[in-house]
Amino acid sequence: MLDRIHAQRLADRLRDAGYTYDEVAARIGPQGLDGLARNATLPADRALDGADDPQATLIRCFALQQPVPHSALRALIGDAADEPFLVAGAGAGCRAAIEIRPYAFDDAAGEHAGWLASDLTPILDGRLAQPRGDFVLGLSPASVTLAQLTVRTPVARALDLGTGCGVQSVHLAAHAAAVVATDLNPRACAMAAFTAHLNGVDLDVRQGSLYEPVAGEGFDLIVTNPPYVMAPPHASRLVYREGSYTADGLMHAVVTGAPARLEPGGVLQVLGNWAITADQPWQDRLAHWIAPTGCDALVLQRERLDPYEYIELWLADAGLVGTPDYRRRYAEWAGYFESLGIVGVGMGWLALYRNERDQPQLSIQDWPHQVHQPVAAAFAEFTDAVTTARLSDEDLLARRLATTPDVTQETLGRPGAEDPEHIVLRRGSGFGRAVEVDTALAAVVGACDGELPLAVLIDAVAGLLAVDFAALTADLLPRLRTLIADGYLRTLDPPAI
Ligand SMILES: C[S@@+](CC[C@H](N)C(=O)[O-])C[C@H]1O[C@@H](n2cnc3c(N)ncnc32)[C@H](O)[C@@H]1O
C-alpha cells in the first residue's frame, strides 16, 4: 500500500496527465461515462480511438481494465507502477490491480475533485469474474443515493460506518472537522485510507464491526449503507453486501446502537433494507426498533419487493445467473425467508435525530414517489419543522407563517366551472410531497406570506366563507400542523426544542 506521501505524489502525477474527472469526462464524453457506470467499457474505448497518450493510457489502465505497457505506466506514475497493490504483471501486459476512478462532486458543502480507489469491477462488458469474499466495492448507485441524502451542515465529528472505498468519507471531510471511518473488512480499511490519501483528506480509519471501533465516542453525524442484503448464511458470503446477522439484524444493530454514539442533536442516516413479516405492518416493526432509542425518526420506504424479486436481484448482483448453482441458491434463499416469516423486503432511507424530546416524533412512511435529489435539505429541515408543528395552539396562532418557496398550487376541474374540484399543494424540491386541500385551507396557506399572524389569516378566511372563527380554527389547525411538519409552511423564527 502507498503511504500518504506516495499517494499524494501519485495524485499529482494523475492530475498532471489529465486523469481528472473533468478532463476524462471531456475525453470520453457523456456516453463513455454512462457506459462505465453500467460497467460497459466499449463507449469509452471507442472515444479513445486507439490513442496511447498519457491520459488515454491511464484511462485504459485504471478505468477500463485494459493491459498497458509497464514502461508507459512507469513513465507516467513512477515507482507506483511497481507497487503490487496498484499494478499487476509486467511488460506489455501489465494491468491495474485496483480501480482508480476520477470522482468529483459539488454539494452544499462545496466542490471537490479527486479519485476513488476500489477493487476491480467484477462484472465488465458482460464478462463475469466471481468477486472474492472481501471484495471492496467502488461507487455504486447506493453510495450516490446515500451521499445525496446526507445532511451537509458543518459538524465537528462524523462517522462513516462501513466505509468500503471511502466515498462517504470524502464527502464528509468537506463539512466535518474530523471524520472517522470504520469497516469490518481490513482490505476496505486499506482502500479507504488510500482513497483519503489520494484526495488529500485526513481520515481516521479503524477496523472492526459496527460501533465497536468507536466505543465511548460521540458523533454529530453518522452515515452508513451497511451490508443490508438478507441472505442465508453461506460460505461464499460477500462482506460488502451480506452481514453475518440473521435477516435484518445488522440494520437493527445499527439503529439501536446509534443513540449511544450520537451527540445531542446528532443525526444517523442509513440507506438499507428491512424485512416485512406477515404478522405486523412494516411501520410497526421499525417503530418497535426505534422507540427505545428516544430519537426522532424519519423513515421513508422507497420500494417494496416480494421475496422472489429480491432473491433474483441479489443472485444477479453476485453474478450467479446462468451458473449451475443458481437454482439451488435460489431455493435455499426462498426457504430461509419462509422459515423467518419474511413476506417482503422494504428498501429505503432511515434518519434518527437525537433531539431528546419528551415525546419523540416517529414519521415512518411509504414514499415510493419520485423525489428531487439531492434530498439532504429535506432531511435537514425535519427537526425545525416538527418543533414548529408541535407549538401550542396559542403560540402557533400568533406566528407569522410563510409558504416555502418551492410550493405550488394546482387546481383541477371542469372547464368553465366556478370552483375547482381538486386543489393540490405540491413541493417542487426534496421529497416532492403533494397534498389535496380544501378551499379554506388553500385560502389560509395562500395568504401565508410572513406578514400577519396565523390567527388573523384564519379570521379573514372565516369572514369570507361566513363561518365561525373557532370552528374553522379547530378544523384547520391539525392539517396546518401536518403541512408545517412536511415543510410546506415555516415560521421565520423557528422555536427551540
Ligand atoms: C455496501 S458497502 C458500502 C460502502 C460505502 N459506504 C459506500 O457508500 O459505497 C458496506 C460496507 O460495510 C462493510 N461491513 C460489512 N460488515 C460490517 C460490519 N459488521 N461492521 C462494519 N462494516 C461492515 C463492508 O465491508 C462494506 O465495505
pLDDT in tens, 50-95: 999 999 999 999 999 999 999 999 999 999 999 999 999 889 889 9
427-449 burial, b if ≥16 CB within 10 A, otherwise e? bebbbbbeeebeebbbbbbbbbe
CA of 160, closest atom in ligand 1 = 6
Based on C-alpha coordinates, what's the Rg of the chain? 26
Q: Residue 18: its pLDDT value, please? A: 98
Which whole-number Å values give the CA distances from 147 to 224, 382, 428, in the listed order? Answer: 10, 18, 20
Count, in order, helices (H) and strands (E) of the chain: 18, 20
Cell of residue 39, nine digits: 460497467
Residues 101, 59: Cα–Cα separation, whole Å? 9
How far is the centre of ligand 1, averaged over its atoms, from the C-alpha of 72 (Å)?
Answer: 35
Q: Residue 244: its pLDDT value, please? A: 81
Which residue, 422, 449, 438, 419, is CA-closest to 476?
A: 438
- Per the CB < 8 A criterion, the answer to whether 168 and 142 are in contact is no
Q: Residue 367: its pLDDT value, please? A: 97
The 10s digit of each residue's pLDDT in 206-247 is 999 999 999 999 999 999 999 888 989 876 778 888 878 899
The backbone torsions φ and ψ at residue 488, rounded to the nearest 5 degrees and listed phi first, read -75, -35
How far is the centre of ligand 1, averaged over its atoms, from the C-alpha of 438 (Å)?
Answer: 47
The answer to whether residue 363 scores a pLDDT higher than 80 is yes
Question: In this structure, which residue's CA is closest to atom 24 in ligand 1?
Answer: 240
Question: In this structure, which residue's CA is closest to atom 7 in ligand 1?
Answer: 143
How far is the centre of ligand 1, averaged over its atoms, from the C-alpha of 183 (Å)?
Answer: 6
Range of weakest confidence among 20-24, 205-209, 224-228, 469-473: 224-228
The 10s digit of each residue's pLDDT in 295-322 is 999 999 999 999 999 999 999 888 788 8
Residues with CB under 6 A from ligand 1: 137, 140, 143, 146, 162-164, 167-168, 182-185, 188, 209-210, 225-227, 239-241, 243
The backbone torsions φ and ψ at residue 253, rounded to the nearest 5 degrees and listed phi first, read -65, -35
User: Helix, strand, or coil here: 425?
Assistant: strand
Contacts of 62 (CB under 8 A, 6+ apart): 19, 96, 99, 100, 101
- Per the CB < 8 A criterion, the answer to whether 98 and 117 are in contact is yes
Question: In this structure, which residue's CA is closest to atom 6 in ligand 1?
Answer: 163
Q: Residue 300: its pLDDT value, please? A: 98
CB atoms under 10 Å from CB of 216, counted, come to: 7
For residue 245, the one-letter residue type is Y
The answer to whether residue 128 scores a pLDDT higher than 70 is yes
Q: Residue 428: its pLDDT value, please? A: 97
CA of 163, closest atom in ligand 1 = 6
CA of 164, closest atom in ligand 1 = 27
Residues 458, 476: Cα–Cα separation, whole Å? 9
Query: What is the mean predicted confidence (pLDDT) over 97-104?
Result: 97
CA of 241, closest atom in ligand 1 = 1
Where residue 122 falls among pLDDT bands split at 50, 70, 90? confident
Computed over every residue of the chain, the mean pLDDT equals 95
CA of 143, closest atom in ligand 1 = 8
User: Helix, strand, or coil here: 99?
Assistant: strand
The backbone torsions φ and ψ at residue 107, rounded to the nearest 5 degrees and listed phi first, read -125, -175
Sheet holding 296-305, edge to edge: 204-207, 176-183, 155-161, 219-224, 262-277, 342-353, 296-305, 362-366
Q: Residue 492: its pLDDT value, please? A: 81
Which residue out of 214, 240, 270, 273 has the highest number of ligand 1 atoms within 8 Å of its CB and is therefore the one to mutate?
240
CB atoms under 10 Å from CB of 78, counted, come to: 14
Which residue, 6, 220, 7, is CA-closest to 114?
A: 7
The answer to whether residue 1 scores a pLDDT higher than 90 is no
The answer to whether residue 129 scores a pLDDT higher than 80 is no
Q: Residue 427: its pLDDT value, please? A: 97
How far is the centre of ligand 1, averaged over its atoms, from the C-alpha of 162 (Å)?
Answer: 3
How far is the centre of ligand 1, averaged over its atoms, from the C-alpha of 448 (Å)?
Answer: 46
Where residue 163 falls among pLDDT bands split at 50, 70, 90? very high
Where residue 162 falls among pLDDT bands split at 50, 70, 90? very high
Contacts of 71 (CB under 8 A, 6+ apart): none
First-last CA distance in the chain: 48
Contacts of 401 (CB under 8 A, 6+ apart): 448, 450, 454, 484, 489, 490, 491
Residues 133, 244: Cα–Cα separation, whole Å? 13
The 10s digit of each residue's pLDDT in 387-441 is 999 999 999 999 999 999 999 999 999 988 888 899 999 999 999 999 999 999 9
Which residue out of 134, 135, 225, 270 has the highest number of ligand 1 atoms within 8 Å of its CB and is therefore the one to mutate?
225
289-299 burial, b if ≥16 CB within 10 A, otherwise e? bbeebebbbbb
How far is the centre of ligand 1, averaged over its atoms, from the C-alpha of 273 (Å)?
Answer: 14
Q: Residue 495: its pLDDT value, please? A: 80
Cell of residue 430, nine digits: 426534496
Which residue out of 105, 121, 163 has the highest number of ligand 1 atoms within 8 Å of its CB and is therefore the one to mutate?
163
Which residue out of 101, 149, 184 has the highest number of ligand 1 atoms within 8 Å of its CB and is therefore the one to mutate?
184
The backbone torsions φ and ψ at residue 140, rounded to the nearest 5 degrees and listed phi first, read -125, 165
Q: Is 139 left (phi over 0), alpha (psi -120 to 50) or beta?
A: beta
Query: What is the mean predicted confidence (pLDDT) over 314-338?
Result: 91
How far is the centre of ligand 1, averaged over its atoms, from the C-alpha of 387 (Å)?
Answer: 34
Query: What is the mean predicted confidence (pLDDT) over 347-366?
Result: 97
% the chain with pLDDT above 90: 87
Which residue out of 183, 228, 252, 349 has the highest number of ligand 1 atoms within 8 Å of its CB and is therefore the one to mutate?
183
How far is the centre of ligand 1, averaged over its atoms, from the C-alpha of 179 (Å)?
Answer: 16
What would the DSSP string read from start to end of 368-386? -S--BS--HHHHHTHHHHH
Give me the domains of the chain, ranges plus CATH numbers. Answer: 4-96 (no CATH), 111-380 (3.40.50.150), 391-491 (1.10.10)
Place of cell 466495492: 137
Contacts of 118 (CB under 8 A, 6+ apart): 98, 99, 101, 136, 137, 138, 139, 164, 165, 191
Question: In this structure, which residue's CA is closest to atom 19 in ligand 1?
Answer: 209
Q: Residue 235: its pLDDT value, please? A: 64
